[in-house]
Amino acid sequence: MERRLTEEQITKALLHWLEANGWEIICYDFPQSGTGISLHPNEEIRTTKNKGAIIPDIVAIKGTTVVLFENKDRYVQSDFVKINDLKVGSDYSASLDKLLKGCQVTNIFYGVGLPNNENACKKIKEQQNMIDFALCVNGDKSVVINFQTKSIF
């Protein structure tokens, strides 16, 4: 029986793959690392200092394109909702502007990193309207582009 990849292993595999494919890592986070950067809701909708903060697992840039990832060791509906909120809303625009200050950005794409298994692939297909891309990690840490709305990678 194959061991399940952890969220940390998935994130590390994606970081390696992104860098090998010419992406510059702006920031990353995995459980208990404390390395991530929080995106806070805009001042006008914030009720407390940290309520509603989102810490993307990976933010990377290549040329003028930025990608933001939420990674998990299994399908989690709330991550698809979180990504969709970032994708279609503007509640975090000030934090995103601050994070990307100095970068020439024409496109921001939002997606997920998941293990490459039957259940995750099925859920990605069912929920693909909520994300711009899905990258999946195999047991050997290789990465597969499962879905993308346009040629991002």
| Domain of residue 27, residue span | 7-35+56-89+108-148
Number of domains in the chain: 1
**How much is the pLDDT for 99?**
94
Residue 28 falls inside a structural domain? yes
**Residue 139 within a domain:** yes
pLDDT at residue number 45: 52
Which pLDDT value is given to residue 46? Answer: 45
CATH number, domain of 25, equals 3.40.1350
As a whole number of angstroms, the distance between CA 44 and CA 98 comes to 16
Tell me whether residue 68 is in a domain.
yes
Rounded-to-integer distance, Cα 137 and Cα 51, Å: 31
CA torsion, ordered 78, 83, 85, 88, to nearest 10 deg: -150
102 in a structural domain: no
Q: Does residue 153 lie in a domain region?
A: no
Residue 94 falls within a domain, yes or no? no
pLDDT in tens, the chain (153 residues): 457 899 999 999 999 999 999 999 999 998 777 778 888 888 655 455 556 788 999 999 999 999 999 999 999 999 999 999 999 988 899 999 999 999 999 999 999 999 999 999 999 999 999 999 999 999 999 999 999 999 999
Say what the pTM is. 0.92
Give dist(CA 9, CA 111) in Å, integer: 17
